[in-house]
A = this chain, B = another copy of it.
Amino acid sequence: MGRPRNEEADKAILQAALDLVSADGYRAITVDQIAAQAQVGKMSIYRRWPNKAAVVMDALLELVGPQTDFPSVPRASESIKLQLHLQVKFFRSGYGRLIRSLLAEAQSNEELAEAFRERWIVPRRRGVMAILKKAIAQGQLRPDIDLELTTDLLYGPLYYRLLIGTGTITTAFADALYEQFMAGHQLGTSSRSRPVSQRED
């Protein structure tokens, strides 16, 4: 039995975590600050999440995730371009810092790394791959491409700029990415590329 968890408090905690981390970055904010901002005891945070990383990860998933729906456009190849533009906009928003923070923290926290990969990255990759399949079905893309690899090709450069900071993340950059990609993958393009994503050296 017992008193059920206060779902509003959870929202308040996640919102506080989201706001603070988006503004100042993961490392700069403390659990006490999150608790204070959410008007909550520290134990209410640690009762639900094992550590700061998990709170912020959940904030991303629950509060930001729903805002990142994929656009629906008749022509699938246009949809790819649109999705790249959305990613640019997302990275340029305050959430860019949030993603950077979590990705950084994940480098020293395997649990977080897995959560970030499996609960944030992979679902969105699936969305991208669904569009790619549709583009193939619509005859806009060669059918022999490796979906995983292709997704890396499209999004890797965006994350690279986000994390390293060489060059700004712009829609022009996304466009160039898209065009470079289409140049190599449009139906009729000659290519020796073969699926590699599951192969090891």
Which A residues fall within an 8 A CB radius of B? Answer: 25-28, 88, 92, 100-101, 103-108, 113, 116-117, 121-122, 125, 146, 148-149, 152-153, 155-161, 163-168, 170-173, 175-177, 179-181, 183-185, 189-194, 196-197, 199-201
Known: A167-B197, A190-B183. A156 touches B161 (CB 8 A): yes
Contact flag A179-B155 (CB < 8 Å), given A104-B107, A108-B26 = no
Which residue of B is nearest A171, CB measured? Answer: B201
Q: Do A153 and B170 touch across chains, with their CB atoms under 8 A apart?
A: no
Q: Name A118's closest neighbour in chain B (CB-CB).
A: B166
| Distance of A100 Cα from B106 Cα, bound (Å) | 10
Contact A166 B122 (CB under 8 A): yes
Contact assessment for B172 and A199 in the assembled complex, using a CB-CB cutoff below 8 Å: yes
Report yes or no: B113 in contact with A104, Cβ–Cβ below 8 A: no
| Shortest Cβ distance from residue A155 to the other chain B in the assembled complex, whole angstroms | 7
Cβ–Cβ contact A170 & B201, under 8 A: yes
Contact A156 B148 (CB under 8 A): no
C-alpha gap A37/B108 in the complex (Å): 21
A184 touches B194 (CB 8 A): no
Structural contact, B163 and A159, CB atoms closer than 8 A: yes
Task: Kindly state the separation between the CA atoms of A100 and B110 in the bound complex, as whole angstroms.
Answer: 13
In chain B, what residue has the closest Cβ to A99? B107
Complex CA distance for A26 and B26, rounded to whole angstroms: 16
Given contacts A179-B193, A183-B184, A196-B176, are A103 and B156 in contact (CB under 8 A)?
no
Query: How close is A33's CB to chain B, nearest CB, in angstroms?
Result: 15
